[in-house]
Amino acid sequence: MKKISIILILTIILGACSSEKSNEDIKNQIFELKEQIKQLENKLDKDVVVSKNKTLKVKIQEAKKEKVKHSFTSTGTVRSEKMAYISPEMNGQIKKVYVKEGQFVKKGQLLVKLNSELIESSILEIKTGLNLAKIMYEKQKKLWDQKIGKEIDYLQAKNQKESLEAKLKTVNAQLRMSRITSPFSGSIDAIYSKKGEMASPGRRLIDLVNLNTMEAGAEISEKYLPFIKKGDEITVEFPTYPNWKKTAKVYRTGNIINPANRTFKVFVKIENKDKKIKPNMIAKIILSDYEGENFTVPSIIIKNDRKGKYIFIAKDENGKIISEKRYIKTGVHIENKTVIESGIIEGEKIITDGYNLVNNGMEVLIVK
């Protein structure tokens, strides 16, 4: 076989040489190639280790179940569970800003006050009218209860009182809206307007954020949908902090598959007491789609033919070790190993070195 290869290589080289090259150049090239071939043959002889009686030497791995876990990584972003872009509910001039950037505030604390002089004047006016309306109503009610007077007078007094009560309730609500308070406890991240400027609904006035609990979300391929569920423990890594990671649990999975990229969303909550994690940071979410106890073999030893995937087993037959071709069913790939779901049993000897040279029914010699 080696001689045939040498002749073939030399023939190709001779045919490829141009007529411009001298015979001496061609001879030099042939000599160099012969030396290279000789070196390759010597290396091959060392790699194919056989015993004195020409029995192929192999190494084996005993079939033994082990705990295996297959994980994959998806990249997502971080956001705060509590983050608000605060704007007023009504138009008004800013009368006073009570907080500074970076300040921690409690839920319900006053942040900004809008000019409310007109509203306060309306409240005083309505209260004055309401006091009179209540007196008139009480008098008309007493008369009506005694069947004295007209019903229409009683109804008008009642309507006037109730109308002014409704107006007072409305202007009190407007007064509350002129006082912008914190919806939750957190830190003032940014203030966009100053005293004397106009504020309006939908226009960002203050950014408020609470960093105690963060949320990381990522889009996962729909093929992993059967394996990811609420409560699964996962690992979150952050490129910003290469040597730092957090353990968290899946608290929600999306219920819709994105038709554009065939993914669904997965969300995890992360405790952030040290405040290292910031909103919009990149997060690598490491999830597991397989975990169990099973046989594993080096992926490289698995071969294929028309019937399927197979490996070689070393079996003892009549005092000799004989190789046997064994068809298997494979599972997930974990780094350089493959899970074997069926085809082998506990304790069998799987050929791991020499698998490329062994044939079915060949006598082999097991070495350590």
pLDDT for res 118: 86
Looking at residue 192, what DSSP letter applies?
-
* Class of 86-199 in CATH: mainly beta
Q: pTM, whole model, 2 decimals?
A: 0.57
Percent of the chain scoring above 90 in pLDDT: 38
Number of CB atoms found within 10 A of residue 70's CB: 18
The per-residue pLDDT for range 214-224, each reduced to its tens digit, is 999 999 999 88
Is pLDDT of 164 > 80?
Answer: yes
Owner of token pair 């993914």: 263
CA distance 98 to 339: 63
Considering the domain 56-65+293-366 in this protein, what is its CATH number? 2.40.420.20
Q: What phi and psi values does residue 178 have, to the nearest 5 degrees?
A: -75, -10
- Residue 95 above 90 pLDDT? yes
Beta-sheet strands, E only, within 308-348: 308-317, 320-327, 329-334, 337-342
Backbone angles phi, psi at 269, to 5 degrees: -100, 140
Q: What is the pLDDT of residues 18-31, one digit of tens each?
A: 444 456 666 666 76
Q: What is the pLDDT of residues 32-65, one digit of tens each?
A: 676 666 666 555 444 444 444 567 888 888 888 8
pLDDT at 188: 94
- How much is the pLDDT for 327? 93
At 37 the pLDDT is 67
Asked if CATH classification 2.40.30.170 holds for the domain at 72-81+209-291, the reply, yes or no, is yes
Q: What is the mean pLDDT of residues 139-147?
A: 84
User: How do strand 303-305 and strand 92-97 relate by DSSP bridges?
Assistant: unpaired
Region 196-203: mean pLDDT is 91
- Judged against a pLDDT cut of 70, whether residue 14 lies above it is answered with no
User: pLDDT tens across 110-132, in order?
Assistant: 999 999 888 888 889 899 999 99
Q: DSSP letters along 216-275, please?
A: EEEEEEGGGTTT--TT-EEEEEETTEEEEEEEEEEEEE-SS-BTTTTEEEEEEEEE-TT-
Give residues with Cβ within 8 angstroms of 353, minimum separation 6: 58, 59
Strand partners for 221: 263
Q: Is residue 140 a contact partner of residue 153, using CB atoms and an 8 Å limit?
A: yes
The pLDDT score that the predictor gives to residue 189 is: 93
Rounded to an integer, the average pLDDT of 173-182 is 90
Residue 4 has pLDDT above 70, yes or no: no
**Arithmetic mean of pLDDT over the chain:** 84
pLDDT in tens, 294-349: 888 999 999 988 899 999 999 988 888 888 999 999 988 887 888 888 988 888 99
Position 17 pLDDT exceeds 50: no
The domain spans of the chain are: 2-47, 56-65+293-366, 72-81+209-291, 86-199
